[in-house]
């Protein structure tokens, strides 16, 4: 359980908003309970940042977990807000995740209960993530984006090809951490090295 400063923040401004937020937090906790009941060992870590819960899993239980969140009457997470691909190469990851490189975060929202939830799938390089195209069509282009810019493969996606970049783009997967930060590497000026030194990187 990883708790980062659980506290009320900008929601403090309005009492009515705070009430709504507490309802949201209650539903998220209930969702976590239901997931724990059914998928106990599959959950690697649970993180709570500003009262929002993120559950980290491996890709084999992804679709069943999302189906439970969507179909359960108490939860009804029927809206997929966003799919984010992350390259964890230079990040200090928790030990429970193992040797992984990429993460894909699915942010869900329940329109009826006004509640959030996030599910994170962690994978080493080369392992595909099951595509949730058949559950939500909005996953179509978001998964293609993660594939194009980061190189994460989605198994079962009907049309996994480039979205933003073009055929003869030099290099691959520019959002990865080992791709140059500015331009294609030709614009790396000396002050960038100063910045890295200040942060203790080489």
Partner 1 sequence: MGIEAHLGNFFTTKLGYLVNWARKNSLWPMPFGTACCGIEFSAVLSNRYDLARFGAEAMRFTPRQSDLMFVSGRVPNKLVPVLLKTYEMMPEPKWVLSQGACACSGGIFDTYSVCQGVDHFLPVDVYVPGCPPRPEDLIKALLMIQDLIKTERLDKERDREAKFRNG
Partner 2 sequence: MATEEKIAEDTGHRIENMWLNFGPQHPSAHGTLHLIIEVDGERIVSSIPHIGYLHCGFEKLGEHRSYNQFTAIADRMNYLSPMCNDIGWSLASEKLFDVEITERCALIRMIVMELSRIADHMFATGMQAVDIGAFTWFLYGWRHREEIYDILERCCGQRLTTSYSRIGGLMRDMDDTAVEMALDTARRLPKTLDDMEGLLKRNRIWIDRTCDVGSFTTEQALNWGYTGPCLRAAGVPYDVRKDEPYLLYNEVDFDIPIGEHGDVFDRWNVRMEEMRQSARIVQQCCEKLEPGPINTPDNRFHLPPRERLYDNIESMIMHFKQVMFGHGTRPPKGEVYCRTEAPNGELGFYIVSDGTDNPYRVHVRSPSLMQFSAIPEQINGRMISDVVAIMGSLNIIAGELDR
Residues 94-113 close enough to bind partner 2 by CB under 8 A: 105, 107, 109, 111
Do the Cβ atoms of 65 and 119 come closer than 8 Å?
yes
Q: Which does 184 bind (CB under 5 to 8 A by kind): partner 2, partner 1, none?
A: partner 1
Q: Quick one: 47 or 72, whose CB is closer to partner 2?
A: 47
CA dihedral 149, 88, 28, 17 (to 10 degrees): -70
From 23-31, 93-101, 116-124, 183-191, give the range in contact with partner 1 by CB under 8 A. 183-191
67 lines the binding site for partner 2 (CB under 8 A): no
CA distance 183 to 63: 37
Residues 1-60 close enough to bind partner 2 by CB under 8 A: 4-5, 7, 9-14, 16-17, 20, 24, 47, 49-50, 52, 54
Could you give the angle at the alpha carbon of 157 between the alpha carbons of 139 and 63, nearest 5°?
A: 65
Report the interface residues with partner 1, using CB under 8 A: 164-166, 169, 171, 174, 179-180, 182-184, 187
């Amino acid at each position: 359980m990883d708790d980062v400063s659980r506290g009320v923040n900008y929601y403090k401004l309005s009492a009515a908003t705070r009430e709504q937020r507490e309802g949201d937090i209650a539903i998220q906790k209930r969702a976590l309970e239901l997931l724990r009941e059914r998928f106990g060992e599959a959950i690697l870590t649970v993180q709570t940042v500003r009262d929002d819960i993120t559950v980290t899993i491996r890709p084999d239980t992804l679709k069943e977990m999302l189906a439970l969140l969507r179909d359960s009457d108490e939860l009804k997470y029927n809206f997929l807000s966003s799919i984010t691909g992350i390259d964890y190469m230079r990040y200090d990851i928790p030990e429970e995740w193992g040797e992984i490189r990429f993460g894909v975060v699915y942010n869900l929202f329940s329109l009826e209960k006004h509640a959030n939830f996030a599910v994170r799938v962690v994978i080493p390089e080369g392992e595909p993530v099951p595509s949730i195209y058949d559950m939500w069509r909005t996953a179509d282009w978001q998964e293609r984006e993660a594939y194009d810019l980061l190189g994460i493969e989605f198994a079962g996606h009907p049309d996994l090809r480039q979205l933003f970049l073009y055929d003869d783009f030099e290099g691959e997967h520019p959002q990865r951490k080992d791709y140059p930060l500015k331009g294609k590497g030709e614009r790396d000026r000396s002050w960038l090295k100063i910045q890295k030194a200040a942060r203790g990187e080489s």
